[in-house]
Structure 1
Amino acid sequence: MDAVRVALLREVLAGTEWLGATRRFAGALRGSVVAHGGGLLLVGTAAYEPWHLAAHLVDEAAWSGTPELAPTLVRHDARPSDPAHLAVGLGRIEAARRGETLLVVAEREDAALLERVAGARRGGVTVLALGAGDGELPALAHEVLPVPGGAELDLDTVQHLVSAAAGENAVPRPRGRRRFRDALSRLAESLTEPPPSPW
């Protein structure tokens, strides 16, 4: 889905909860990968691997100047003979560490995947879930965007909205030391300004 179609879709969805929900979720995704800088892992289920979302996030990362958005697609059937970008298997989730973000796209839960996601969360990984609205996965996730069966939008369409919103240029909020330095700089400038002229 190209930018024009996403814009038209957003126009059609104006006034619904979907625009706000997808933007909030995309903001959490972008905020997590930018703040932690540890990388983004993207995984689906054995029955559904989010190829299109991976491709769109790579595009959005390039267009927005946010390389952290480019995900590593983790595959259930990865083989060493696959091209490097398709050869990352589920063991990568077990190797994930604090600072990394794991985005799980699943219409239904997968028990074996849930165990890996739970282990990653215990290891300090930020977990986001797209699709599954009930069960154990939403309980494990730090942020959830449910796409229930029978909703106005299907999971593929919601992924397009999320990837487009994640790539939107947002003004970064100053954090920590930078905020303190900015405030200190403004204070120093105000103290060194010449007094106003009395006439």
Structure 2
Amino acid sequence: MDAASVTFLREVLSATGWVERTREFGRSLRATRTPGGLLVVGTPEEEPWHLTAHLGDEARLSGLAQLAPTLVRWSPPPGAPPHLAVGVDRIQAARRGETLFVVTEHKAPAPLLERVDDARRTGATILSLDGGDPDLEGLAHDALAVPPQEGLFTFDAAQHLVSMAAGEAPRSRSRFLDRLARLAERVSGPRVPE
């Protein structure tokens, strides 16, 4: 999905509340303090390659080095390039200032939950994008649960919306107030000095 498709999806979903929620969640990913400290992990059966690639793109495009993700894999093959060779032992080394981002549409297996709990105890921020897993969400500091069969807001769509939101500059309240003032002026006419 390209940027234009994500923008279109945002427009279609604008009245649902999902756009603002994915923006809030995307901002949570910015809390990571150091490049490589955003650890992205899935389950042994489903690694979040696609989302990791999009976060890498957003890190480059936005200039936010802390968004540069580290894909954590359950069984990296011997001889894998360094960026594909990070194993789950990296989760045990997670510390304060780092973020463990768990991405799974299905229920998290016990070994993953144990590692997430360990990372939380050592001070890492835990975020989850999931399909409604109460055990995983109970460990997360912030969780975005994507219900099954939610129309256009699918698990894949949520990943695209979150990654794009992570790279965006936060929307300022003053810009909103400026737009609101311009809208009010159009409706009531320009202000005339007294």
Give me the TM-score of the superposition, normalised by structure 1.
Answer: 0.81
Which residue matches 1:147? 146
Aligned-partner SS, 2:80: coil
Which residue matches 2:89? 91
User: Retained in 1: the 8 A contact 2:55–2:163?
Assistant: yes
Select which of 22, 34, 50 maps to 1:37.
34
Aligned-partner SS, 1:160: helix
CA shift for structure 1 position 136: 1.1
User: Retained in 2: the 8 A contact 1:132–1:138?
Assistant: no
Write the mapping of 1:105-120 to structure 2, written as runs, cut at 5 A: 105-107=103-105, 108-120=107-119
Mean CA deviation greater in 148-157 or 20-29: 148-157
- Give CA-to-partner distance per residue, 1:148-199, whole Å, 9 cap, x none: 2222222111000000011112379xxxxxxxxxxxxxxxxxxxxxxxxxxx
Residue 166 of structure 2 corresponds to residue 166 of structure 1? yes
User: Retained in 1: the 8 A contact 2:131–2:155?
Assistant: no
Q: Which amino acid aligns with 2:3?
A: A
CA RMSD of aligned residues (A): 1.5
User: Retained in 1: the 8 A contact 2:72–2:90?
Assistant: yes
- Give CA-to-partner distance per residue, 1:37-88, whole Å, 9 cap, x none: 3710000011211101110001000111101101000011212311111101
Q: How many residues are matched?
A: 169
Aligned-partner SS, 2:86: coil
CA shift for structure 1 position 110: 1.1
- Give CA-to-partner distance per residue, 1:16-54, whole Å, 9 cap, x none: 121011011111112x11xx3371000001121110111
Residue 28 of structure 2 corresponds to residue 28 of structure 1? yes
- Structure 1: unaligned runs, 5 residues or longer: 173-199
Q: Which amino acid aligns with 2:93?
A: A
Give me the TM-score of the superposition, normalised by structure 2.
Answer: 0.83
Mean CA deviation greater in 145-154 or 17-26: 145-154
CA shift for structure 1 position 14: 1.4
Closer/same/farther in 2, CA of residues 132 and 118 from structure 1, 3 Å limit = farther
Q: Which amino acid aligns with 1:122?
A: R
- Give CA-to-partner distance per residue, 1:75-109, whole Å, 9 cap, x none: 11212311111101100001111111010001221
Q: Give distance in 1, aligned partners of 2:100 and 2:19.
A: 22
Instruction: Report which of the two structures shows the higher radius of gyration computed on alpha carbons.
Output: 1
- Structure 2: unaligned runs, 5 residues or longer: 173-194
Q: Give distance in 2, aligned partners of 1:122 and 1:37.
A: 19
User: Retained in 2: the 8 A contact 1:109–1:132?
Assistant: no
Residue 17 of structure 2 corresponds to residue 17 of structure 1? yes
Which residue matches 2:70? 72
Q: Which amino acid aligns with 2:64?
A: T
User: Retained in 1: the 8 A contact 2:27–2:170?
Assistant: no
Write the mapping of 1:115-134 to structure 2, written as runs, cut at 5 A: 115-134=114-133
Q: Which amino acid aligns with 1:116?
A: R
Q: Which amino acid aligns with 2:34?
A: G
User: Retained in 1: the 8 A contact 2:131–2:148?
Assistant: no
Which residue matches 1:190? none
Q: Give distance in 2, aligned partners of 1:171 and 1:65.
A: 17
